[in-house]
Amino acid sequence: MKKYVKYSIGFSGIGVLIGLAISLVFNYLNGSTTYYPSSPNFVNQFARPLNSVTVSVVLWMLIGCVFGFGSLIFELKNWSLLNKTIINFCAYYAGFAPLAILCGWFPLTWLNFAIFTLIFIVIYAIIWSLNWYSIKKEIRSINQQIKK
């Protein structure tokens, strides 16, 4: 239990750090003179801008936990890579999609949700492929060292 509390704190911190960094980049790219933790429509839902920042931080913490705990699926020893990938993808999507909606990152229509889903699938596939290639390269290197 203690281990998972530590994980939660770490994953939450990483989520906040990444969320803050991304929101700052978007604010600078948009030439904003006021900090918006998310879209202006999201911020306008709150009585005070500080409330939107607080809610954003909580959402970023949850996003960090979704991706952090989801990554632990790949540490399971007796599952195939296919099973791990399918369960990991489903956990990420089921956890992240509602949080992305709550963050106000896109207007909630079927078309926008379909676009979000497509982008999510493409990004997941790219990251998974890069990770797979990196691991494959590492295994080759280890095997070559063993042969020496």
Answer yes or no: is pLDDT of 63 > 90: yes
55-to-12, 32, 122 alpha-carbon distances in Å? 14, 20, 28
Inform me whether the pLDDT recorded for 147 exceeds 90: no
Residue 24, token pair as written in the block: 């700052």
| pLDDT, tens only, 7-54 | 999 999 999 999 999 999 999 999 999 999 999 889 999 999 999 999
Exposed / middle / buried, residue 94 (Cβ in 10 Å: 0-12, 13-18, 19+): exposed
Residues of the chain above pLDDT 90, percent: 84
- C-alpha distances (whole Å) from 108 to each of 104, 119, 121 are 8, 15, 18
Token pair, residue 31, equals 């030439």
Q: Could you tell me which of 96, 97, 73, 99 has the C-alpha nearest to residue 86?
A: 73
Determine which of 7-11, 25-29, 56-60, 143-147 has the lowest per-residue pLDDT on average: 143-147
